[in-house]
Structure 1
Amino acid sequence: MSLLSRFGRSMRGALPERVLVAVSGGVDSMVLLDLTRKWAEVTGSPCRIHAITVDHGLRPESAKEARKVHEIVRNMGLDHEIICVPEKIDPKQLEKSARAWRYKLMYNKMKLLHIDNLMVAHHFNDQLETFMIRLAANSTLFGLCGMRNVSAYPILDPFGSKRILRPMLDIRKKELYAYAYEHNLEWFEDSTNLQPITLRNRIRKYLQTGQIEENTVEQLLSSVRRAVDDVESDMRQLDNEISVKFNTRLLKMSVIIPSTVFERYPLLSLDRFIFEKLHCVSAISNYHHRYTTIDLKNATVRTNDWSLSESIWDGTVPEKFNVLKCLVRVVRSKNNIYLLITRATEKFRQPVERVVNVTASWSEWDLFDNRVWFRARGKPGSYTLKVEANGLPAFYHGGQFLCYPTIGGCGSLEVQTMTKPMRIMQT
């Protein structure tokens, strides 16, 4: 099967109406852009392709290469823009800082262009490297399964619509080079990729030289993916067996788990199900990552000595307990276990509050307390939005309580709110 056909299969045959393609100028991204353009032509897709190059300013030749990429892409008849990182990247956290800036700048461009899908050129060899990096960090099962063809954008947005598309995850690097040579594509080699300045670069060298056996890594990754696929299949079934109701006004959740569920499903699947449902209520900021506190306790490579669902089932947790900044109350009956979930009260800490400058026009959507998106308009002035003892956000003006915006009735303010989704999108 040709690379173009494999690309189309990964995209499930169709391109989005509009897509932003990240183009660094390397062989990976130049092949990605060419495949995207050709698949649109072959299928007659009306997809509007926008390309973007982020110049991190890490190499003296990066600006010149970015301009050349601009010429190449424009000659393809596609839109292209170069965006420069506005400050010097921290050399002590080179890869992390560069990635954060890259995704932030591309997110801003997606918002400006009203695009929901970012296409990136991650390929099979990148996947193996990611597996090794996470394995070295003792990552969880969900972290080890690696990148997905479709995943949520690493920056939260109010509608939860921003996605990252990786249509080349089953294509090896050598195949990308072969395609580029065959189709006379132009690209640039990043000299820093050969320097052992990051863990990824060092792992890449070990894989290329055979110091790490690639086939062994591939088999391990495949085993992890099968295990995670089984968990996610269980979770889809649990959606039909466990009742979950979330009150978006009071920010409270009730979960009814039939007792028989604990006997028929693996603990890992139940833990993961509860973990994702807590997402709506919790004020934890890093929920869009697949490996978090609760995973590290029960799904690491080396240990499996604690389970949230098992502790709930066997009664070793108290009737009230805190987890991931949520207060969970457990009520038992003969046939069911009921979980009542609210935001945990955090004592002896700085109160969670923010000054909101309101005008007559709608403000931008903003995430407050890592739980509620809001925007406001009304009588101009400075308002205070803070978390009350009951866990609800409340607006104040001049020291006077105005309203709970999730409930309504703000008088001089008009406020719209949205909560986070109950499922963290990964496919």
Structure 2
Amino acid sequence: MGLQDFFNTKLTRVFQRNGKQLPKCIAIALSGGVDSMALTHLAHRFAQQNDIQLFPITINHNLRPTSTLEIPLIRQQLDKMGLLRNYHTMDIHLERASLTQSSTDAKEIEEEARVKRYAALTEVCSSLGVRDVLLGHHLDDQIETYCIRLLKNSGIFGLAGMQELSKAPVNIKPERLQLVRPLLDVRKSQLYEHCIANGIEWVQDYTNFDEEYGIRNVVRKYLKDNEAVQDRMLSGYTAAMKFNHRTDLKIKKLYTSIKEDIQQDGGNISMKIPKKMLEKYSDIVLAKFLFKMLYPLSPSRNYHYSFNKILEIVPRLTEESTSNFTLLQLQWTSKTVDDHLIIEICKQNPSSPITYSFIMTPYSTTDDFLFDNTYWFKVENTTSEYKHYTIKTLTQQDKQLMETPPKDYKYSRYKNTPALVDDDIGQIVALPVFHKEDYIACKLKDNIYSI
């Protein structure tokens, strides 16, 4: 099978997973390097065959003196493909204008660039009505990632590398971009061959092997010079990937079996699992299932690194008749009833209420904002007056701020969910998690972990 046929099959399978249709429009993160130029050419042919509109997007970090000079070459290549009219660029400026000898500086710059790059991509894609972005990561990148994570003592799931389908890793908008990596099984040498065979030029990034530019470049140069090590790393990565895939299949089977017994009510979740069913699954499967389920509920800003903490508490859940503890800023309660394990989870009581105050001008609407790293809000002022609002996590004492509590009000259900206080009258005017209001949009953050 040629690379184009492989690409078409792979991308179709990824997009049509779970019975979904191909999108009407797709963006490409286009740096101008051989990876993204080959990706653009492959995606262009795919889009033509499937009546999809393609938007190449370049985010310029302005880190390299030549980066601005590379845009004309990219435009020239896109013009040859007939994609120039759909091309978009955006400049971002980092606080540190240049990299130094310090590895700490390089790491900080890399992280800042990553966050701002995804923020810029989200902004451009939002204006275009695009939800899916193709990235040019390939098998060589996976091997490098495996090696880096091995050096950092990552767990087995971290060693499995990047996923074909994932959500953008930063909270910028309520609806996160979907990142699609269709080249993860393709070697970089194949991308060079594709570009050469099709007369596609690319930008050569001279920093790719400069060891001052972070650990990835050190690893890349080492692997390039040591093919035997590269083969061993590929073997290790493949084993980790297969283990991760088998685990995910078991998680999906577990979820399918108990989904009717999973209840989510606002920021609370409960599940009932037959004890006999638990005997079929390892602690790792149950831990990763919980890890994937609970991300939207947890305010933790280090959630991604918390799998081992969940794995450690699984025996308490499965072996003790009752258990009560806090983890990931969540309150956990478990008990065994009639041969079933019942797990109930809600937000942990903060040491003091979380608050966010803001002033609204007449007839204005806020931008989307994330409250307590959990709930996305957008508030509209439909009056001709200035409004002073505070959003706060509900405490037991806050009932006195309600003119008329809802008929279904129970603090055990509502606790620690956000309440909107009108500071001008000193009253709670909305409990938007449970009672929708026309002037407030409120929703839990997206789950970046699919089941």
Give me the TM-score of the superposition, normalised by structure 1: 0.89
Q: CA separation of 1:252/1:158 partners in 2, compared to 1, >3 Å: closer, same or farther?
A: farther
Contact 1:57 1:63 in 2 (8 A): yes
Between the two proteins, the alignment pairs up a number of residues equal to 406
Q: Distance in 2 between matches of 1:96 and 1:129?
A: 17
Matching residue of 2:47 = 40
Matched, 1:193 2:208: yes
Listed as ranges, the matches of 1:292-331 within 5 Å are 292-293=305-306, 295-297=307-309, 307-315=312-320, 319-331=323-335
CA shift digits 1:88-135 (9 cap, x unpaired): 447302322222221111111111111001111111100100111111
Please tell me the residue identity of whatever aligns with 1:313. Answer: T
1:302 aligned partner: none
Q: 2:167, 2:9 → 1: CA distance?
A: 20
- Shift of residue 4 of structure 1? 0.6
Structure 2: unaligned runs, 5 residues or longer: 16-21, 100-104, 396-414
Instruction: Quote the residue 2:31 is aligned against.
Output: 24
Q: What is the CA distance between 1:168 and its match in structure 2? A: 0.9
Q: CA RMSD in A?
A: 2.2
Residue among 342, 347, 357 paired with 2:346: 342
State the 1:175 CA deviation. 1.0
Distance 1:60 1:375, change over 3 A: same
C-alpha separation in 1, matches of 2:448 and 2:272: 17
Residue in structure 1 matching 2:391, options 360, 385, 389: 385
Structure with greater helix percent: 2
Q: Secondary structure at the match of 2:439?
A: strand
CA distance in 1, matches of 2:436, 2:230: 61
1:397 CA drift (Å): 1.6
- Unmatched segments (≥5 aa) in structure 1: 299-305
1:158–1:418 contact (8 Å) kept in structure 2: no
- Paired residue type of 2:265: N
8 Å contact from structure 1 (residues 74, 80) kept in 2: no
Q: Who is 1:119 aligned against?
A: 134
How high is the sequence identity, in percent, across the aligned residues? 26
Deviations 1:281-312 (A, max 9, x none): 2112355x4xx21x2347xxxxxxx6322221
**1:391 CA displacement:** 0.7
Residues 10 and 149 in structure 1, CA contact (< 8 A), matched pair in contact too: no
Query: Does the CA contact (< 8 Å) of 1:278 and 1:326 recur in 2?
Result: no
8 Å contact from structure 2 (residues 174, 376) kept in 1: no
Amino acid at match of 1:384: T
The one of 112, 134, 155 aligned to 2:149: 134
1:334 CA drift (Å): 3.0
CA contact (8 A) 1:352 1:386 kept: yes
Q: Displacement of 1:155 after TM fit?
A: 2.5
Deviation at 1:239, TM superposition (A): 1.1
CA distance in 2, matches of 1:164, 1:127: 16
Q: Shift of the alpha carbon at 1:394?
A: 0.8
Distance 1:62 1:396 in 2: 48
Q: Give the alignment partner of residue 430 of structure 2, picking from 389, 403, 414.
A: 403
Q: What amino acid is the match of 1:284?
A: S
- Rounded to whole Å, the distance in 1 between the matches of 2:75 and 2:436 is 51
Structure 1 position 223 matched with structure 2 position 229: no
Paired with 1:172 and 1:3, the residues of 2 have a C-alpha distance of 11
What CA deviation, in whole Å up to 9, does each residue of 1:221-254 have, x standing for no partner?
Answer: 1111111111111111111333211012xx2111
Deviation (angstroms), 1:357: 3.8
**Which residue identity is paired with 1:247?**
D
**Quick check: 1:370 aligned with 2:376?**
no
**2-structure distance, mates of 1:421, 1:63:** 35
Give the alignment of 1:2-21 within 5 angstroms. 2-12=2-12, 16-21=23-28
TM-score normalised by L of structure 2: 0.84
Q: How far did residue 68 of structure 1 move?
A: 2.6
Partner residue, 2:82: 77
For the Cα contact (< 8 Å) 1:107–1:155, is it kept in 2? Answer: no
Contact 2:316 2:323 survives alignment (8 Å): no
Question: 1:86 Cα shift?
Answer: 2.8
Q: Aligned to 1:319, what secondary structure does the other structure show?
A: strand
